[in-house]
C-alpha cells in the first residue's frame, strides 16, 4: 500500500492545477487506490457518477497507507484549494473535521436513512459533533491470512488452526524452498501484522487495553513481550528482499506460487480476484491463527471538504452514489472488503466475502469488532506513528522483545 514516492512528486501533485476550469458537476477526488485491484474497484464509482453526468477529476497519490496523499492534501488546503472528496481513514477524518475543513452531509444522510444502516463503530468516524462529514465506502478487516492452496496441497498441509500449527506450516514451506511469508518491509505493513499477533498473544480484551485504552501496564507486559517474540519468529520466514516491497507485490508472490502465506487486510483479495484466482480452489482465506473470533477493522471513507455552493449538489450526489446498496455490492465484490451498510445481502459475494460479512456481524454482536491500530482506527495519528516506529525497529532487529515492549510504552506515553 504505502508506495515509494519522491519529494518532487509530492510537490508536483500538491501544486497541480487542472487544465481549464472544472465544470460545476465535476468532482475532484484525492485517493491512494493505485494498485490493480484497487483501481478496478474505484472505477465502479467513476462509472456510476458518469451515468449521472458528473465528471471525475482523478488525483491519485501512490502509497497505500495514505501518508503521501495526506501530505498533498495539507498543501492543497493550505493553498485554499481543497479537493471535493478525499479518501480517508479513522482519526484523520476527525482531525480534519475538528479544523472545520469538512462539509456537511446531513441532508442526504437523513433522506436516505444512513443512521439506521451504518454500524455505530463506523459512525464514530463518519460523524463529527453529531454531523455526517464523510461517506463510508466499505469495511475492511485486517487479520487475514492468504495462502497459496497449491503449495499447501503439495506439502500435505491443512489450514493451520493454532499459532503452533501456523509456525509449523511456515517452516515446512521454507524447508521446501518457498518464501514462507510474503511481506513488504514498510512500517504500516509491519503494524498490520502486529495487529493480529497482539490479539493472538493476549486476546481481544488485552488488545483493547493496549491499543485503544493505551494502558501503560498492557503496553509493557508479558503479553506484549510474547507478541514481539512472535514477530521475531515471523521475521525468520520472510525473504531477504522484503524491505520496501509494496503490499500488492507481496500478494503477487502468493498468487504466483512463489510464497505460501501473506498476512494482510482483505484488500489483498482484490489482487487474487483480478488474477482470476478462485477462493477455496486457488487460494485460502482465514483469520490469523489465535485471532479468530475478533475482527480488526478499518473503513475507507470519502471525507467531503467544504466546497463552493455550486459544487455541493455534485458532492451530495457522490455521497449518495457511495452509499447506495447497488454500489456497495459492486464496489466491495471487486475491492475485497464488505459493505459499510448492514442491510446489503451477501449472496453476490464469494466465499471469502461471505465469511467476512458473517464474522464482522458476529464480532460486532460479541464486542470483538476492534478498530485497527495499524490503520488509524484505534488511536490518533501521533500515537499510531509512535507505535509504527517501535514495531518496525524491532522487526528490523534494533530491540529484543523485552526492550521493544518497554520502548512501546515509553513511545506511546511521549506521543499523547
Tens of pLDDT, residue by residue over 78-118, are 899 899 999 998 999 999 999 999 999 999 999 999 999 99
- pLDDT confidence of residue 44: 87
- pLDDT confidence of residue 361: 85
- Statement: residue 201 has pLDDT above 50: yes
pLDDT of 44-88, one tens digit each? 889 989 988 899 999 999 876 677 888 899 999 989 989 999 999
∠ CA 121-373-361, nearest 5°, is 35
Query: Stretch 189-196: mean pLDDT, rounded?
Result: 98
- pLDDT confidence of residue 64: 62
Q: What is the dihedral of CA 140, 141, 145, 150, to 10 degrees?
A: -40
Query: Stretch 294-305: mean pLDDT, rounded?
Result: 95
Lowest mean pLDDT among 198-207, 279-288, 360-369: 360-369
Q: What is the pTM of this model?
A: 0.83
- Statement: residue 180 has pLDDT above 80: yes
Helix axes 325-335, 312-323, angle to 10 degrees: 70
pLDDT of 320-353, one tens digit each? 999 999 899 988 988 889 999 988 999 999 999 9
Domains belonging to the chain, first-starting first, are: 7-140+298-357 (3.40.190.10), 141-296+366-415 (3.40.190.10)
Helix axes 222-235, 381-395, angle to 10 degrees: 50
Please give the Cα distance from 355 to 346 (Å, whole number). 9
- Statement: residue 277 has pLDDT above 90: yes
- pLDDT confidence of residue 187: 96
pLDDT of 361-384, one tens digit each? 888 888 899 999 999 899 998 999
- Statement: residue 6 has pLDDT above 60: no
Amino acid at each position: 500500500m504505502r508506495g515509494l514516492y519522491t519529494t518532487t512528486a509530492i510537490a508536483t501533485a500538491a501544486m497541480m492545477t487542472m487544465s481549464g476550469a472544472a465544470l460545476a458537476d465535476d468532482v475532484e477526488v484525492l485517493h491512494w487506490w493505485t494498485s490493480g485491484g484497487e483501481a478496478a474497484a474505484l472505477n465502479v464509482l467513476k462509472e456510476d457518477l458518469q451515468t449521472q453526468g458528473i465528471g471525475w477529476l482523478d488525483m491519485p497519490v501512490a502509497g497505500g497507507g495514505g501518508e503521501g496523499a495526506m501530505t498533498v492534501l495539507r498543501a492543497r488546503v493550505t493553498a485554499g484549494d481543497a479537493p471535493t472528496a478525499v479518501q480517508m481513514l479513522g482519526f484523520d477524518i476527525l482531525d480534519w473535521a475538528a479544523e472545520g475543513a469538512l462539509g456537511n452531509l446531513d441532508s442526504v444522510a437523513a433522506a436516505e436513512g444512513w443512521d439506521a444502516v451504518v454500524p455505530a463503530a463506523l459512525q464514530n468516524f463518519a460523524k463529527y459533533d453529531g454531523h455526517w462529514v464523510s461517506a463510508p465506502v466499505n469495511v475492511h478487516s485486517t487479520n487475514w491470512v492468504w495462502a497459496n492452496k497449491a503449495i499447501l496441497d503439495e506439502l500435505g498441509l491443512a489450514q493451520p488452526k493454532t499459532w503452533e500449527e501456523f509456525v509449523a506450516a511456515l517452516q515446512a514451506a521454507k524447508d521446501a524452498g518457498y518464501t514462507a511469508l510474503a511481506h513488504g518491509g514498510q512500517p504500516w505493513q509491519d503494524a498490520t501484522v502486529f495487529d493480529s499477533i497482539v490479539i493472538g498473544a493476549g486476546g481481544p480484551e488485552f488488545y483493547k487495553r493496549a491499543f485503544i485504552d493505551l494502558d501503560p501496564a498492557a503496553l509493557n507486559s508479558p503479553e506484549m513481550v510474547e507478541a514481539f517474540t512472535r514477530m521475531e519468529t515471523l521475521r525468520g520466514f520472510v525473504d531477504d528482499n522484503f524491505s520496501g516491497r509494496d503490499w500488492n507485490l507481496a500478494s503477487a508472490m502468493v498468487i504466483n506460487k512463489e510464497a505460501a502465506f501473506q498476512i494482510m487486510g482483505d484488500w489483498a483479495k482484490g489482487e487474487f480476484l483480478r488474477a482470476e484466482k478462485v477462493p477455496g480452489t486457488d487460494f485460502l482465506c482465514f483469520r490469523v491463527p489465535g485471532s479468530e473470533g475478533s475482527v480488526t477493522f478499518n473503513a475507507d471513507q470519502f471525507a467531503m471538504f467544504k466546497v463552493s455552493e455550486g459544487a455541493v449538489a455534485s458532492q451530495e450526489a457522490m455521497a449518495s452514489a457511495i452509499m447506495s446498496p447497488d454500489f456497495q455490492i459492486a464496489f466491495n465484490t471487486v475491492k475485497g472488503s464488505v459493505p459499510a451498510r448492514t442491510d446489503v445481502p451477501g449472496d453476490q459475494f464469494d466465499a471469502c466475502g461471505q465469511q467476512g460479512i458473517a464474522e464482522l456481524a458476529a464480532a460486532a454482536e460479541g464486542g470483538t469488532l476492534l478498530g485497527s491500530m495499524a490503520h488509524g482506527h484505534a488511536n490518533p495519528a501521533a500515537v499510531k506513528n509512535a507505535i509504527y516506529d517501535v514495531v518496525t525497529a524491532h522487526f528490523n532487529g534494533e530491540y529484543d522483545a523485552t526492550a521493544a515492549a518497554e520502548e512501546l510504552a515509553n513511545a506511546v506515553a511521549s506521543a499523547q
